[in-house]
């Protein structure tokens, strides 16, 4: 099923597709769009169960891949934040000829930690706890709690939370079923063994103070001339909110080199 999208910018420009994180909608990217819109055609995708696509049944990862394959044009620059980064990574692995470049933000090929492998990530028990307390009646409260976890550690934590809430104020809450499906994806997805199948240029962005996706996991990515890593020193899970000017510079520098 094809997803509805929001489109901005230059209709003749290169296409940037942006995938949001768990609990939010594509409106979270509205502060990034202005720096891109003069040169790029920007497509913001609300995942199934969110925003424009709130009526579409919740999907696990494979179903969402089918939705994206039905929706996205060829030769895109794919940008994903948090859960959206996992989906962008899987899409790139499955559709290498359709992705010109990949940008992940505060994301990881495996979101949850594996202490026995010394893999850094979110404690699986936290996701289980969120799954256990999430109900149709308390969706807002659970998302609000997760937002606080995302901003924790940032020197601008209160401002970050306030700005994200302002960006999302006119967006309907996601469905309970999609939130549960997303938590399962965060808990179960493990793409670490597939990274050598990515041939396109990549930019992987982390926040030094991120407690959900620790920047120590950045060492998993292949190191070469077109696989770049940037760590924002004063950011937690949303560096495009915490350090907006620096974030835009890093993003545009990468696009100038690989997105033309």
DSSP 97-136: GGEEEEEEES--SB-B-BGGGTB--B-HHHHHHHHHH--T
In this structure, of 14-23, 52-61, 206-215, 236-245, the range with the lowest mean pLDDT score is: 52-61
Examine the pLDDT at 57 and tell me if it is beyond 80: no
Q: How confident is the model at residue 95 (pLDDT cuts 50, 70, 90)?
A: very high
pTM score, two decimals?
Answer: 0.97
- Name 121's Cβ contacts closer than 8 Å, sequence gap at least 6: 108, 110, 111, 112, 113, 114, 212, 213, 214, 217
Any bridge partners for residue 164, and if so which? none
Domain carrying residue 27: 5-258
Q: How confident is the model at residue 136 (pLDDT cuts 50, 70, 90)?
A: confident
Residues recognised as catalytic: 82, 210, 237
- φ, ψ for residue 80 (rounded to 5)? -135, 135
Q: How much is the average pLDDT of 96-124?
A: 97
Examine the pLDDT at 58 and tell me if it is beyond 70: no
Give the integer Cα–Cα distance in Å for 43 and 168: 17
The alpha-carbon radius of gyration of the chain (Å, integer) is 17
Examine the pLDDT at 60 and tell me if it is beyond 80: no
Q: Are 247 and 239 spatial neighbours (Cβ–Cβ below 8 Å)?
A: yes
Q: Are 125 and 213 spatial neighbours (Cβ–Cβ below 8 Å)?
A: no
- pLDDT, tens only, 64-86: 999 999 999 999 999 999 999 99
pLDDT, residue 176, reads: 87
Give the integer Cα–Cα distance in Å for 224 and 239: 24
Q: How many domains does the chain have?
A: 1
- Report the CATH number at residue 187: 3.40.50.1820
- Name 67's Cβ contacts closer than 8 Å, sequence gap at least 6: 1, 2, 3, 48, 56, 59
């Amino acid at each position: 099923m094809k997803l509805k999208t929001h489109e901005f910018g230059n209709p003749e420009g290169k296409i940037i597709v942006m995938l949001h994180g768990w609990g939010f909608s594509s409106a979270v990217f509205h502060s990034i769009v202005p720096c891109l819109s003069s040169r790029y055609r920007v497509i913001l995708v609300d995942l199934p169960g969110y925003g424009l696509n709130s009526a579409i049944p919740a999907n696990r990862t494979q179903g969402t891949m089918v939705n994206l394959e039905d929706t996205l044009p060829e030769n895109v620059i794919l940008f994903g934040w948090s859960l959206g980064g996992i989906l962008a990574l899987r899409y790139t692995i499955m559709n290498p000829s359709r992705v010109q470049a990949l940008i992940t933000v505060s994301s990881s090929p495996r979101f949850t930690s594996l202490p026995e492998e010394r893999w850094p990530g979110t404690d699986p028990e936290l996701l289980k706890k969120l799954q256990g307390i999430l109900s149709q009646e308390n969706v807002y409260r659970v998302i609000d709690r997760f937002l606080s976890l995302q901003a924790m550690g940032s020197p601008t934590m209160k401002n970050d939370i306030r700005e994200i809430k302002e960006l999302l104020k006119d967006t309907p809450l996601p469905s309970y079923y999609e939130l549960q499906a997303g938590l399962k994806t965060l808990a179960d997805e493990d793409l670490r063994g597939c990274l050598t199948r990515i041939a396109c240029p990549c930019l992987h962005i982390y926040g030094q103070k991120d407690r959900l996706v620790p920047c120590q996991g950045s060492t998993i990515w292949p190191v070469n001339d077109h696989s770049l890593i940037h760590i924002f020193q004063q950011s937690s899970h949303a560096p495009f909110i915490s350090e907006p000017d620096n974030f835009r510079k890093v993003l545009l520098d990468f696009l100038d080199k690989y997105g033309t």
